[in-house]
Structure 1
Amino acid sequence: MNLIFKRHVFLMLIVASNTSFAADKITSKETQSKASDSAVIQTEQKHLMWGLSIAEYARYEELMKGIRGSISPETISPIEVLGIHAQNEAERQKYARLWADMMEKDTERVLAFQRAYDQAWKDKGNRPLIEISQLKSQSPSITPTAATHSSGLPVTKMIVATKLDGCAACDKKIQQLLTSMLVDKTLHLDVYFSDSSDKPNSVIRQWAISNRVDAEMLKSRRLTLNHGQSLMNQYQLDEKQLPATFKVDNNGGVKRVE
């Protein structure tokens, strides 16, 4: 009798164990299914966010598994990837227009926020945006840029030679760079004015106000405003060549990019 009871208990344990195992398998399959569904939903949301079809986004993901993913920055967009790897001219033009539209809208958002920031600064008492004592007249002091931003990303250092007045291309370039600095917090910029040496420092202050320069950029030295005649001499530039933009590499080397 005791033996029969033990066998009965053993069989019950086996049944319970199998039931538990089956339940675990069902739960595991349900979890995997939910994870798969979530991944599909996320992919759909991503392709919609970029204005792409599911097939286009899938091609972008496939391209990123190859050389494009190994040599491109993490911030490269799916539209840029597809445009770079366009299969024909019509496709290239399509992605170029799509990217231009997105950048235009994003610039509008950035500038709208900048205007709100300008008003907030005025509400704080409209203190001077720059201190005249910070203006420099010497050539740029180039130091290696291996420093990193608080985000952990490497700092990008740029130099631009421009004019205070009479250069529409200069004004456009400055606005592009200032907008980029609002979006990319790792970008540092030194601005040198070719025509400021014989003018009062207040003219540069007025230039900063007119161009809606962010006071925090100046305070943190992400942006510097400088008299630039010595830089013009150093790089043998004349005003017909302006604006002139340079990039400083990690070893302190300077290379003109435009």
Structure 2
Amino acid sequence: MRILFFCQLTLIALLPHTVHAAPETALTATDTTEAQTSQVKQSSLESAARWGLDETEWARFKDLMQGPLGLQSPHLDPLSALGIEARDDAERTRYAELQVQMETARVTKLLAYQNAYDQAYKRLYPDILPVNLIGTAAQVSPVTANNRAAVFVTLDCKACDELIKRMQGTHQPFDIYLIDSHGNDDRIRTWARKSAIDPVKVRSRQITLNHDQGRWVRLDGQGDFPAVLRQHNGKWVRQ
């Protein structure tokens, strides 16, 4: 037993001393936090840039949406939020101008696509009344197009039919919004036929057929139907 133990000690002594390198240290909690912070900052910078804002303005927007403004209007875009809470006239003007520029670009794209959609509809379904794909006319926007009237109607409204008939006789362009269409194109087409909407005027977009999709509520509409609204000084006013 002593001889075996002595041999083991001798063998260990003869083995070269090996220095084992420590394994690479894994990312520490601090490293992980710093990486996450960097990602969040980069994301904020990119989001701010999309709205024409800098990092400080973006941070203020996020802070505003954590307060009463965010509770009252949770879906406000950054420019509207900062403009509403502007601290002076210069800030208010800056955000208003940025929003006008962005809205102009957005609506230009929407109208270009709507035009392409209309042309495709004419080719594919020449005998079916087209329903407006986008329905930009009654949106709250700094951009207006020829001050077209927005006419809000309901399915079972005799006064609506009479108003539409009179308005068609004036040959002025207007946009119809059916409150209770429930997003059903056939429903709005059936109503249009019942109300004797001129299909030629619809195809030429002198008259457009639109689902309301909550616009009446967003415009804070009140009163009975039909309702005719036009833009005046950037606000929709009932006529």
> How do 1:106-117 residues align onto structure 2 when only pairs under 5 Å count?
106-117=106-117
Structure with higher Rg: it is 2
> Can you list the C-alpha shifts for 1:43-93, whole angstroms capped at 9, x where unaligned?
00011000011111111111111101111132x110000000011122212
- 1: distance between equivalents of 2:33 and 2:91? 37
- The residue aligned with 1:101 is 101
| CA 1:124–1:88: 2 relative to 1, 3 Å | same
| CA 1:36–1:114: 2 relative to 1, 3 Å | same
Q: CA RMSD in A?
A: 4.7
**1:162: Cα distance to partner?**
8.6
- The residue aligned with 1:210 is 204
Q: Whose RCO is larger (CA < 8 A, sep 6+)?
A: 1
Contact 2:83 2:96 in 1 (8 A): yes
- 1: distance between equivalents of 2:25 and 2:113? 54
Contact 1:162 1:242 in 2 (8 A): no
Contact 2:48 2:54 in 1 (8 A): yes
**SS where residue 55 of structure 1 aligns?**
helix
Q: Which runs of 5+ in 1 are unaligned?
A: 2-18, 141-159, 179-185, 224-233, 246-255
How many residues end up aligned between the 2 structures? 173
Between the aligned residues of both structures, percent identity stands at 24
TM-score normalised by structure 1 residue count: 0.51
Contact 2:84 2:92 in 1 (8 A): yes
Judging by fraction of residues, say which structure has more helix: 1
- The residue aligned with 2:124 is 124
- The residue aligned with 2:25 is 23
Among 149, 158, 161, the alignment partner of 1:138 is 158
Q: Which runs of 5+ in 2 are unaligned?
A: 6-21, 132-154, 213-222
- 1: distance between equivalents of 2:107 and 2:200? 24
TM-score normalised by structure 2 residue count: 0.55
- The residue aligned with 2:196 is 201
The answer on 1:163 being equivalent to 2:183 is no
